[in-house]
Amino acid sequence: MKATIYHNPRCTKSREALAILRAAPGIEIRVIEYLKTPPTRDELADLYRRAGITPRDGLRKAEDGAKALKDASDDAILDAMAADPILIERPLVATDKGVRIGRPPEVVREIL
């Protein structure tokens, strides 16, 4: 099975989710440091659709830039995330079985 993790190595939760992936047998892991190589707006929209969540659910609300998006549409949130990937909640993990935001990190097991 293949797994992609949109990862921030400075984030404890992201490191924990990556450790879960590495400990799972038979997983081929693709690590994308999303602050260096951010997903496109369309990729984000697809990831959230596959996760069954809205872009607002995937917004890192603790970031200063998120406050300005309080009443924004999903399209505006996706645009903001594409322009400033720090707004993307992390870690975001995708497999053929689905997509999860790894908060808590253990939820990534649902898609392994």
Is the Cβ–Cβ distance between 15 and 102 less than 8 Å? no
Q: Alpha-carbon distance 38 to 32, whole Å?
A: 8
Q: Which position among 4, 11, 12, 54 bears the catalytic label? A: 11
Q: Show the tokens assigned to 79.
A: 């645009």
Note if 10 is an active site residue. Answer: no
Contact (Cβ atoms closer than 8 angstroms) between residue 69 and residue 59: yes
Rounded to a whole number of angstroms, the CA Rg of the chain reads 13
* Residues shown for the chain: 112
**Residues forming the active site:** 11
